[in-house]
Amino acid sequence: MKLLLFLIVSFFVEANEDFITKDEYASQLYNNPRGISCALCHNENGTAKLIAKYTHEEESRRFETPQINNLSYEKFHKALNNRIRGMPRYFLTDSEIKLLYYYLQQRSKKI
Ligand code: HEC
């Protein structure tokens, strides 16, 4: 009986080490969702980023992403379910979108 108890307890202790925290999971999701990091175009914290500068018909243009860490959840969620020019379409689940939103909220609190 003692042995059985020991085995059960050690199983849970071992298994527990494999779990990642919500913050770790959120960070992994932001930095590698479907293989293309949000941080590439939205920085570590979801601040605005200049992607490219170019000249079109002798006019200098800037292609920048907007700040995404200050949006309402509704706007954030809607944006991720729509086609956005210049952004890959991820087909994220609602819980993934919630976690990404949570991640950006946490990050912007730390600045
Ligand atoms: C290849 C670059 C790129 C990547 C990667 C990318 N985005 Fe974007 N994102 C953009 C661009 C460009 C826009 C703005 C397009 C525009 O101005 O119409 C945008 C807009 C947004 C918006 C809407 C902002 C607003 O004010 O309406 C949200 C939200 C957003 N991105 C979240 C994300 C998240 C979350 C990820 C990762 C899952 C991600 N993006 C990955 C380029 C990217």
Q: Which pLDDT score, from 0 to 100, does residue 19 have?
A: 80
Nearest CA residue ID for atom 42, ligand 1: 87
User: Regarding beta strands 49-56 and 59-65, do their DSSP bridges make them parallel or antiparallel, or are they unpaired?
Assistant: antiparallel
pTM: 0.83
| CB contact at 8 A, 80 and 97 | yes
- Ligand 1: centre distance to CA 45 (Å): 13
Q: Which pLDDT score, from 0 to 100, does residue 16 have?
A: 54
Nearest CA residue ID for atom 43, ligand 1: 87
Q: Which pLDDT score, from 0 to 100, does residue 53 have?
A: 94
| CB contact at 8 A, 92 and 32 | no
For residues 43 and 108, give the distance between their C-alpha atoms in angstroms, rounded to a whole number.
12
Q: Which pLDDT score, from 0 to 100, does residue 23 have?
A: 93
How many Cβ atoms from other residues are within 10 Å of residue 23's Cβ? 12
Q: Which pLDDT score, from 0 to 100, does residue 86 have?
A: 87
Nearest CA residue ID for atom 23, ligand 1: 79
Q: pLDDT digits over 37-83, tens only?
A: 999 999 999 999 999 999 999 999 999 999 999 999 999 999 998 88
Kindly list the structural domains of the chain, giving each domain's residue range(s) and its CATH number in brackets, ordered by start.
20-110 (1.10.760)
- Average pLDDT for the chain: 88
| CB contact at 8 A, 36 and 88 | yes
What distance separates the 2 farthest-apart alpha carbons in the chain?
A: 82
